[in-house]
Amino acid sequence: MMKILIIDDENDFVSTLAHALARRSHQVVSAGSGEKGVEVFKEHSPDWVLLDYNLPGIDGKETLLRLKAVNPRVKVCFITGTDNAILRKEIETIGVARFLNKPIDIKDIFSLLA
């Protein structure tokens, strides 16, 4: 069982993803903003973070920087509906395990966590 933090402001997406992960016996916590995500990350020390780019408050890039400041080895899957090559390059430079575009296939998440 892994602890997974989902940081995304789309409630339906979070609910669907959390339910699917919980059915695979993963412990799931979530946050609807980058700031809250960093707080939850510090509190729960998840094994994986599924992080959206477009968030209220600080964006996904700044959230990623803050997560890495807390734990440089954190495993992050960056999920976004914004397919931007420059953004992708910047995010990969900071350090992510995977970059997925929405809409995602849940099988990609399951493969990532396997």
β-bridge mates for residue 76, sequence order: 49
The CA distance from 85 to 59, in Å, is 17
pLDDT for the residue numbered 48: 96
Res 94: pLDDT: 85
Closest CA to 55 of 34, 81, 77, 39: 34
Range of the domain at 15: 3-113
Distance CA 108, CA 85 (A): 20
Residue at 64: amino acid letter: L
pLDDT tens by residue, 62-113: 999 999 999 999 999 998 877 777 778 888 888 888 888 888 899 999 998 8
Domains held by the chain: number: 1
Higher-pLDDT residue of 84 and 12 is: 12
CATH code, domain carrying 56: 3.40.50.2300
Position 6 scores a pLDDT of 98
